[in-house]
Structure 1
Amino acid sequence: FFSKNVSCIMLLPVVLIGSAGVLLFGYLYRLTKPQKSDPPCPGSDPIIGSFRYLERPLYRFMSERFARDHLVLFFLGPTRMYYLNSYAAFREAMVDNAEALSGRVTQKPIELLIGSNGGLVGTDGELWKQYRRFTLHTLRDFGLGRRGAEHCISLEAEELCSEIATRGGSEAIDVNLVLGRSVSNVICQLVFGSRLASDNPEFERILDAFNEFTANPRFQEENFKALAFLPISSRCTPLMRLLLKLPGMQGIIEKMNYLLDFCQQQVEAHAAEMPEAGFSEARDYIEAHLKHQQLNQQTDDNGADLFTNKRLGMAILDLFLAGTETTTTTLRWALIYMLANPRVASKVREEIRQHLGVQGRVCMADKAKLHYTMATLEEVQRLASLVTNGLTHRVTADIQVAGYKIPANSYMMYNMYYIHRDPDQFPEPDCFKPERYLDSESRFQASQRLIQFGAGKRACLGESLARMELFIFFVSLMQRFDFRLETDDCSASGGGKIVDQATRAQALLDYVDPEHLLVLIRHLPSYKLEFTEL
């Protein structure tokens, strides 16, 4: 009898653990099982979710497999991810339910790595509202959307053209490098008060590190996989630390720390120069933030300071990532589209020269005269669709989209690539046709269905700056230069046949994105141009 009791007692932990395992499996199985009331789903396995059913890249898979579905559901582990696959669904979610879509993915990994949350892109709640309000107010004071920023961009465009004119006759130019430096100088002057991208010889390394975040598909893939386990790991610090040691994450963390250290050094340099009484008048974003910290001791719900030097460094990093890479990449796409469409390029140059001449300085008032040029830039942004899946939003309250209930704490992305290529809205969607934005009198009419800057409460806060940069840099380059792809690469296809510029440019545009699930920004392959001054 005694031995039987001992055996039963010894078996009890095994039974309890086994029962707990069965219950946990059943719970996770239910979490990853689509319900009849859910939107279409490509498929889902217990615990791991939909990874086995998703083809790469994600935006192409959704465009082809679910072209007629407004909303698609897939699972990242137990995490529900809703994918907006039409403009109607996008608008209903991001505009009509803007408040509920203002959430972001948890910043727990960032807090573990650097000891603080912060920034403009990844935060939500009161912290995000306060930083967004402060940033918008500060950048407007420095001329964002007004003549102050316009003058700064015009000067950088002139510097860019001077550099190209000096070098262009003797060598092919890496467009990504010169454009990246010029665009970075604009945000440098707003944030640091100097042309740091030109003055600091180390800045090329900074640009390379920024590029790693947006152009490296491995980084995006690891981020995407990590998202599957965030709802669970964010409640368990040891599990989160383990998640950060996944293969590929260490290199990403090193790059991020390098960039944050650079931003923090700029903050410390400004703080060291601040008088005891504070700055009487802030000259840049950092000084404005330090002054705000001194005058406004705002605290969060826990009584901790809301505005800190560490959060300032994170905000600077976000401003650079958002304000440099996308604008530079869009300009690179624009130049290649001009080579691939020589008829369009000829009409753009003819319009610019008719109204501005060959040397006239470009200003934003010229938009009212350059209708075909504006339409061309609009078409570049439509077809480039750089941020293909948008940024991930967390749903903060139960909402309804496209007739489906979306529960709180699920996540949402949108298919910018397909929304910009919907044949019902853009006939012949793969054709480059600026004429689609011109009315019967050949006047430019912006499309309301282009979503390159997002919408709602999380719309890009630098939209007006980006539009100014795109217009002034693009018009300045088209006004002063003719250009062609590097001659050394022009020889050859197969049997020694010379390939014309338009065909070579189209080959770059037809470049297939890397076979990775998530592509944050669609980057063209590297290329060099030979410039001829007109």
Structure 2
Amino acid sequence: MLGFLILTLIVGFIFYEMYWKRRHLPPGPIPLPLAGNIISVSVLHPPGYDAFINWKKEFGPVFTYWMGPFPTVIIADYETIKETIIKDGEKYTDRFTTEATHQIRGGDFGILETSGDNWREMRRFTLHTLRDFGMGKNLMEEKVMSEVTSLMDRFTLLKETAPQWEFDVAVGSIINNLLFGYRYEEDKQAEFRELKNLLSDHMKNIATFSVGMAFTQPWTRIIPMFNGL
């Protein structure tokens, strides 16, 4: 009798985790109990780009995947993003955050991972400041076109080059020139390479199964392999 009860509870738990909890959400990949779709993103298709591309092809431009126990609705279509997140951005003030994120940041800071009134104020301040810098105006277009001209000149002069690196430097130069007033000329490219490597390492480190579980399932931190991540 006890064995039958335990088996019933296990079957019920699996049914809830893999099917029942998804019933009111957009379609998406079946989540595993506890882990959700973290394995697909961090183990099978690290750091996750191919997983999202495959899910878009299978489920359409709006789908749900699970970060452990947390559902995440993905909008992977420009027009839909424009109609929802951009034109109706105020509805997205309640944003997903985790206890681990707050611990690492030392509080509810930044733009990407703040929520409510704090996020709304940060968004308003950021947009206002960027407009003062020229975003959406002719000045911004001039900065972009100036960088495009410089990029084309480099392609003309260099006999051998890595196109991806040159495009990365050009985009980085536009952003850095806007914020800090200088481009990544030859003597500054070591700085750009260091920043790019730090960002790349950051993405690789957080896009792992163990970190995903530690962020979404706090109880896993009592397990040695997750403790301290």
Q: Assess same fold via TM > 0.5.
A: yes
Following superposition, the deviation at residue 147 of structure 1 comes to: 2.6
Following superposition, the deviation at residue 105 of structure 1 comes to: 2.6
* Kept in 2: contact 1:43–1:53 (CA 8 A): no
Q: Which has the higher contact order (CA 8 A, sep 6+)?
A: 1
1:58 counterpart residue number: 51
1:135 paired to 2:97: no
Following the alignment from structure 1 to structure 2, what is the Cα–Cα distance between the partners of residues 64 and 126?
A: 36
1:147 to 138, 145, 153: 138
Following superposition, the deviation at residue 173 of structure 1 comes to: 0.6
Indicate how the Cα distance of structure 1 residues 46 and 59 shifts in structure 2: closer, same or farther if over 3 A, else same.
closer
What SS class does the counterpart of residue 203 from structure 1 fall into? helix
2:191 counterpart residue number: 202
1:106 counterpart residue number: 97
* Kept in 2: contact 1:41–1:74 (CA 8 A): yes
1:220 paired to 2:220: no
1:183 counterpart residue number: 171
Indicate how the Cα distance of structure 1 residues 222 and 148 shifts in structure 2: closer, same or farther if over 3 A, else same.
farther
Following the alignment from structure 1 to structure 2, what is the Cα–Cα distance between the partners of residues 140 and 87?
A: 22
TM-score, length of structure 2 as denominator length: 0.64
1:173 to 157, 161, 164: 161
Structure 1 residue runs without a partner (length 5+): 1-20, 234-238, 251-534
What SS class does the counterpart of residue 207 from structure 2 fall into? helix
Following the alignment from structure 2 to structure 1, what is the Cα–Cα distance between the partners of residues 223 and 185?
A: 35
Considering only aligned residues, what root-mean-square deviation do their CA atoms show, in Å? 4.6
Following superposition, the deviation at residue 172 of structure 1 comes to: 0.9
Indicate how the Cα distance of structure 1 residues 145 and 198 shifts in structure 2: closer, same or farther if over 3 A, else same.
farther
Following the alignment from structure 1 to structure 2, what is the Cα–Cα distance between the partners of residues 240 and 106?
A: 18
Structure number with larger C-alpha Rg: 1
1:158 paired to 2:158: no
Deviations 1:152-184 (A, max 9, x none): 333333333333333x2xx31112222222221
* Kept in 2: contact 1:109–1:240 (CA 8 A): no
Following the alignment from structure 2 to structure 1, what is the Cα–Cα distance between the partners of residues 207 and 161?
A: 29
Deviations 1:29-55 (A, max 9, x none): 575253395455654554444668998
Indicate how the Cα distance of structure 1 residues 31 and 132 shifts in structure 2: closer, same or farther if over 3 A, else same.
same
* Kept in 1: contact 2:36–2:67 (CA 8 A): yes
Deviations 1:266-286 (A, max 9, x none): xxxxxxxxxxxxxxxxxxxxx
- Identity of aligned pairs, percent? 21
What SS class does the counterpart of residue 80 from structure 1 fall into? strand
1:457 counterpart residue number: none
Following superposition, the deviation at residue 136 of structure 1 comes to: 1.2
2:17 counterpart residue number: 32
Deviations 1:361-384 (A, max 9, x none): xxxxxxxxxxxxxxxxxxxxxxxx
Number of aligned pairs?
214
* Kept in 1: contact 2:38–2:67 (CA 8 A): yes
Following the alignment from structure 2 to structure 1, what is the Cα–Cα distance between the partners of residues 174 and 134?
A: 12
Following the alignment from structure 1 to structure 2, what is the Cα–Cα distance between the partners of residues 89 and 63?
A: 13
Following the alignment from structure 1 to structure 2, what is the Cα–Cα distance between the partners of residues 53 and 157?
A: 38
* Kept in 1: contact 2:64–2:74 (CA 8 A): yes
Following superposition, the deviation at residue 243 of structure 1 comes to: 8.7
* Kept in 1: contact 2:35–2:69 (CA 8 A): yes
Indicate how the Cα distance of structure 1 residues 66 and 162 shifts in structure 2: closer, same or farther if over 3 A, else same.
closer
